[in-house]
Chain A
Amino acid sequence: MKQENMNKADFLTSIFLFLFGLTVFIISIKMPTFRELGANPYSAPGIIPAILGIILSFMGIILFIRSVIHKGCKIRLSSQSIKLFVKSDSIKRLLIALFLSIFYVILLGKINYFLLTVIYIFIFIIAFEFSIKKSIFCQSKILFFAFLESIFIAGSIAFAFRYLFLVRLP
């Protein structure tokens, strides 16, 4: 990340961190002390979280001041910069990997583990190696090996965890 963007990110993070620390502190001081049960008040469960909340808020303030000094508060978002950001190859690759992986996690337990893993690995490979511009026939090798790898890997993982480690698959 460029330094200019880093300052902007720091500015936003500092606000989040301050509010987060403050929330932690408020929740912590509302925690019971169990004094009515005869417990020592210094054993209250909220002591350490409250201190951590204060520290996180304090560090948020320092980060805020620092980012303002470095002009991180000047956040200008234009539609062109957003377009450029989304269209960049690295972001595309990241988003494909992220969405495929998140969908895999969401669908776990709802579809058969072996089948889902085969589909996930197959689509992951195809998403990065397959080109829409070329014909399917000249890329049949990619499809075949992606399918073979997905079957083999999903089968090996499912077999190892189910029968060797005796884990009930999700």
Chain B
Amino acid sequence: MFQGLMQLGYELSKFLTVKLIFDVLWSTQLGIIVGMLPGLTATMGVALMTTLTYKLASSHAVLILICMYIGAIYGGSRTAILINIPGTPANAATTVDGNPLAKQGKAGPAMGIATTGSFLGSLFGMMMLAIFTPILGNAALSFYSFEYFWLTIFGIIICGTLTAPKDPLKGWISGFFGLFVATIGMEGMHAYRRFCFGNIDLGGGIALLPAMIGVFGFSEILMVMKQPAVKIVSRKIEKVIPSLKDIMKYWQTIIRSGIIGTIIGAIPGVGEDIGAWVSYDFAKKASKEKEKYGKGSIEGLIAAETGNNAAVAGAIIPVLSLAIPGSAPAAVLLGAMLIHGIRPGPLLIIENPNFIYEVVAMIFMATCAMFILGLSFIKLFCKILLIPRERLMPVIFCLCVIGSYALSSRMFDILVMAVFGLIGYAMKEMNYPVAPSVLGIILGGLLDKNFRRSLILTEGNILPLFTRPISFVLFLFILFTILSRMKWFEDFLKNLKVIIIKPFKKKKTN
């Protein structure tokens, strides 16, 4: 423990230079602006920033990306409070109580509370990351091909279920489509070109970043341009700094939301939006002032903002320990780490153990910057919301194009971005979540390699996939997740519950 703290202090001291502090401040502020603007998401911000930082040293680039990520997830709360539109999907739960507070003339205090909630959530998530990443990393060292195979399937199924709660089938279709996309191009064992049809560019496969920029950038531009323009109503912003009493009153909610946010964030592909909603839901159920929820509850606002920012650090836990992203922006972060020669995954703890503490220090720097910037220059930066989308969107598209191209100077990547933008748009229109697709593109290689490896090891016998303890547990999880979304299974569980409870009830009455 003491050694860990020493290491953290050492890593933190490395970042305390004027240049890096300046970089932390501007990138976090840029993140806040990206988060604030409806239509620009944290994923898009991190993806575009990856293309702008790929020439920098690895730790410097990752620091800027983490600042952008944390800033954007927080920044969306401002739009949610002021104009009732979540700046990023992660802030959807913030609108429920944030906007009613603004309508009551409490826009300033609401933003102050959201900032404090985000700050505390991020710090909580950071501590969880420092504690659990090495533990999970060590546990992952005992994973073999069989376990990795089920882990990828588990990631796709759980991500599909949680990102499409009303229609999980569409989430699963999206995930398996992503897995298929990952199989395009040259495979690793025989260098055979799959689904290339003689196209040389396809032989290199579908690069993750152009596909992500398309799915989260271009498709979002089309979605924004399709919607009617939003009229921005300026609200008076007075006192922003919240009272300590207001925060201390809800300490239980903060801790609960921090834990929930981190856990939800750590589930593959699920992300900050679900983290915020689940935290909000739990806070409402446990609250003594339920009647205030939806009408401007400070507790509800704190729960949502603590939950989504705790999920940021939570989403980085599986990135570092398993090389599986917890959310869409974390997926881009994973891609950026790979571009910079960092190999996240179980071996990180052996090859580069200091990197975990380096990331913790980066999150700490970004969180502090977010807190300071979040409580200052609010009036000035809220004016950015007045930029008309017709002027902003073509600029974003130009950045999407040049960003996709810059990584490997291939015109093909621009085409990938455009095609995936159109696919992403069609998916969003038909209520297919895009996050499972992205997770599928990332995990596809892992699935392919590990399934074939396990078949080779067992000479085609698939039984060990079900008989090894961890594999079996993962398989049961997957089975239960799928079955739990089927009506007949729900009815069966209800009947089973009645059958089990009935004899005990009779005994009681006797």
Give A residues with C-beta under 8 Å from B: 1, 6, 9-10, 13, 17, 24, 27-28, 31-32, 34, 39-49, 52-53, 55-56, 59, 62-63, 66, 89-91, 93-94, 96-98, 100-102, 104-105, 108-109, 117, 120-121, 124-125, 128-129, 146, 149, 153-154, 157, 160-161, 165-170
The 8 closest A-B pairs by CB, nearest first: A42-B455, A124-B394, A128-B390, A97-B225, A94-B226, A45-B192, A48-B448, A121-B394
Q: A52 near B176 (CB under 8 angstroms)? A: yes
8 Å CB contact of B173 from A31, A63, A154, A167? A63
B486 to chain A, nearest CB (A): 11
B52 to chain A, nearest CB (A): 7
A32 to chain B, nearest CB (A): 7
Q: B452 near A6 (CB under 8 angstroms)? A: no
Q: How many residue pairs between the two chains, A and B, have CB atoms under 8 Å in the bound complex? A: 148
Q: B177 near A117 (CB under 8 angstroms)? A: no
Q: A165 near B55 (CB under 8 angstroms)? A: yes
Residues of chain A lying within 8 A (CB to CB) of residue B55? 165-166
Q: Mark B178-200, 1 if CB is under 8 A from A, else 0.
A: 01100100010110101100000
In angstroms, Cα B189 to Cα A32, docked, is 12
Q: Which residue of A lies closest to B429 (CB)?
A: A1
A163 to chain B, nearest CB (A): 12
Q: B394 near A125 (CB under 8 angstroms)? A: yes
Residues of chain B lying within 8 A (CB to CB) of residue A168? 409
Number of interface residues of B (CB under 8 A): 53
A49 to chain B, nearest CB (A): 5
Q: A49 near B418 (CB under 8 angstroms)? A: no
In angstroms, Cα B409 to Cα A10, docked, is 38
In angstroms, Cα B183 to Cα A58, docked, is 19
In angstroms, Cα B218 to Cα A52, docked, is 27
In angstroms, Cα B187 to Cα A160, docked, is 36
Q: A98 near B222 (CB under 8 angstroms)? A: yes
Residues of chain B lying within 8 A (CB to CB) of residue A91? 226
Which one of B17-25, B239-247, B267-275, B395-403 contacts A?
A: B395-403
Given A47-B451, A121-B395, A170-B405: A97 in contact with B195 (beta carbons within 8 A):
no
Given A40-B456, A42-B460: A167 in contact with B415 (beta carbons within 8 A):
no
8 Å CB contact of B176 from A32, A59, A96, A120? A59
A54 to chain B, nearest CB (A): 10
Q: A105 near B190 (CB under 8 angstroms)? A: no
In angstroms, Cα B494 to Cα A83, docked, is 50
Given A59-B172, A153-B395: A31 in contact with B194 (beta carbons within 8 A):
yes
B85 to chain A, nearest CB (A): 17
Given A27-B195, A42-B456, A120-B394: A105 in contact with B401 (beta carbons within 8 A):
yes
Q: A149 near B391 (CB under 8 angstroms)? A: yes
In angstroms, Cα B227 to Cα A48, docked, is 40
Residues of chain B lying within 8 A (CB to CB) of residue A62? 169
8 Å CB contact of B447 from A42, A48, A63, A161? A48
In angstroms, Cα B402 to Cα A153, docked, is 13
8 Å CB contact of A31 from B192, B395, B402, B455? B192
Residues of chain A lying within 8 A (CB to CB) of residue B227? 90
8 Å CB contact of A9 from B169, B418, B430? B430
Q: Which residue of B lies closest to A97 (CB)?
A: B225
Residues of chain B lying within 8 A (CB to CB) of residue A66? 169
Q: Which residue of B lies closest to A9 (CB)?
A: B430
8 Å CB contact of A161 from B402, B415, B455, B460? B402
Residues of chain A lying within 8 A (CB to CB) of residue B169? 59, 62-63, 66
B70 at the interface (CB under 8 A from A): no
Residues of chain A lying within 8 A (CB to CB) of residue B415? 105
Known: A32-B190, A170-B405. 7 other contacts (CB 8 A): A42-B460, A94-B222, A104-B401, A109-B411, A121-B398, A146-B391, A149-B391
B393 at the interface (CB under 8 A from A): yes
A5 to chain B, nearest CB (A): 10
Q: Which residue of B lies closest to A62 (CB)?
A: B169
Q: A39 near B176 (CB under 8 angstroms)? A: no
B194 to chain A, nearest CB (A): 6
In angstroms, Cα B430 to Cα A9, docked, is 7
8 A–B contacts from the bound complex (CB under 8 Å): A34-B190, A43-B190, A45-B187, A48-B179, A94-B225, A129-B388, A157-B398, A157-B399
Residues of chain A lying within 8 A (CB to CB) of residue B194? 28, 31, 45-46, 49
Residues of chain A lying within 8 A (CB to CB) of residue B54? 165
